[in-house]
Amino acid sequence: MISALNKLQDGSLELTITVPWPTVENSYQKVLEKIAKQTTVKGFRKGKAPVKIVEKEVGKQKIFEETLKEILPQAYLEAIKEHHLKPIVNPQIT
């Protein structure tokens, strides 16, 4: 993970975090498997559909959103430790 800290003119800080692609892929697969276990697809018992079919059924966008929810908290914690920050408000993620 790579992070960069920028001080903005209004006194706030901008923290840019770059997560390596292998980490994203690994997390994506874990999230996809988790969703597959919870999803019912016509023609398959609940949780027994192949992940490729579940991926098409649920949609990659939804899976990527869940992947971000999985990755961001840990990446954020690592970045604030790296830059010795003590945030007083929750971050605004864009």
DSSP state for residue 39 in the 8-state scheme = -
Q: Is-above-0.85 flag for pTM?
A: no
Question: Is residue 51 one of the residues assigned to a domain?
Answer: yes
Q: Give tens-digit pLDDT for 41-50.
A: 999 998 899 9
Other residues' Cβ atoms within 10 Å of the Cβ of residue 21: 8
* Residue 55 structural domain: 2-82
Establish if 74 belongs to a structural domain: yes
Asked whether residue 60 is domain-assigned, the answer is yes
In a domain, 87, yes or no: no
User: How many structural domains comprise the chain?
Assistant: 1
Q: What is the pLDDT of residues 11-57, one digit of tens each?
A: 899 999 999 999 999 999 999 999 999 999 999 998 899 999 999 99
Please check whether residue 90 lies inside any domain of the structure.
no
Domain of residue 25, CATH code: 3.30.70.1050
